[in-house]
Amino acid sequence: MRDFVELLVFHDERELKKAKWLYHGFILCEVKKCSTLINDLIDKKTEAGCPVGDRIHFVELTSRSAGSSSTKTAVKWAKLFRDVCYRNMWFYLLGVDLSNINYDAFGLKSNGRDRHYRIYNKFFEIGLFTACRWFFDPTTVDIEIEGIFSEERSLERRNPFAFYAPYRINQRESNIKIKTKHITKISSTPSKEKRYPDYVHNLNLVDVLVGSFSEVFDYSSTQDGCVEVAEQLYTVCDRLSANPFNSRSRYYKRYAMSFFPRRRLNSSEIIQSKTSQLGNHFYNKRQPCLRQQRLL
């Protein structure tokens, strides 16, 4: 008899134009455990003296926690992620090395915006599908995704982001079924979100995680708050990168990350291949830069 899991997915992204990296991060949470995760996040936010309705946004963490309730909240969340959250959620980060992507595979240079949409949406699909495949054995577990939530942003009408990944994943012959036809876009500020205010805390958490993991590997910000929060997750990043298949780790099959591609791909390799055929181009080991750069 096959197991059955109902999930909610929370997504955030970060693009570093100078470093040429695009990151997609995903929190996967069982529907029945989502309230536990939310309550833990709110409790830590309250402990930090931060208003529950405030947004926690990684790039806005300019000050150290001693002088900022937002940074203090993010630090507490990072510690919670490190020590507790693996019991109630899964987290996957996909980092895309844009310097190894053949942009011509995604359209003409003259159609720059459309090409960017295709890259962004394609790797969102690959990231979510890879997360589900890694965390849940397709031979024994059926997955039903009840909803996918991402930060509300203005999108041009021709950008198919809201519908692309649910449609594409549902077309695959797999153990994954997305019940919703579109990604739900919600405010990143709890006090401004009317439909799903509690879910915004999960969205803010994935923002902090994507920002922190990227900061560890890229050291793209020298802001005191960003560095302090990233430091809390340095060891986690290092472990997931250096020894990702350690079955004795408490993070095994709960937290994971991978980078793509290992080498520059030609025009047909990404568009025409399924994720399973791209497996050889994913890799895990990457040197953290956060502490190295500071020593220079």
Report, as an integer, the average pLDDT of 7-11: 98
What pLDDT digit, counting tens, does each position of 176-200 carry?
999 999 999 999 999 999 999 999 9
Contacts of 290 (CB under 8 A, 6+ apart): 215, 216, 217, 219, 227, 230, 231, 234
Rounded mean pLDDT, 62-78: 97
Does the pLDDT at position 104 exceed 50? yes
* In the chain, % of residues over pLDDT 90: 78
Please give the pLDDT value at position 148: 98
98-102, 116-120, 143-147, 262-266: least confidently modelled range: 262-266
Residue 240 one-letter amino acid: L
Residue 295: the pLDDT is 45
The per-residue pLDDT for 78 is 98
Q: Reply yes or no on whether the pLDDT at 5 is more than 50.
A: yes
Q: Is the pLDDT of residue 156 over 80?
A: no
Quickly state the pLDDT bin for 278 (edges 50, 70, 90). Answer: low
CA distances from 17 to 22, 97, 98, 267 (A): 8, 11, 9, 22
pLDDT at 173: 79
Beta-carbon contacts of 194 under 8 Å, excluding residues fewer than 6 positions away, are none
Q: What is the mean pLDDT of residues 57-74?
A: 97
Report the distance separating Cα 206 and Cα 26, nearest Å. 7
Residue-wise pLDDT tens digits, 72-98: 999 999 999 999 999 999 999 999 999
Structure tokens at 182: 């579109």
Q: Read off φ and ψ for residue 207, nearest 5 degrees.
A: -60, -45
Mean pLDDT, the chain, whole residue set: 91
Predicted local confidence at residue 274, as pLDDT: 52
pLDDT per position as a tens digit, 213-266: 999 999 999 999 999 999 999 999 999 999 999 999 999 999 999 999 988 877
pLDDT at site 93? 98
How much is the average pLDDT of 117-137? 94
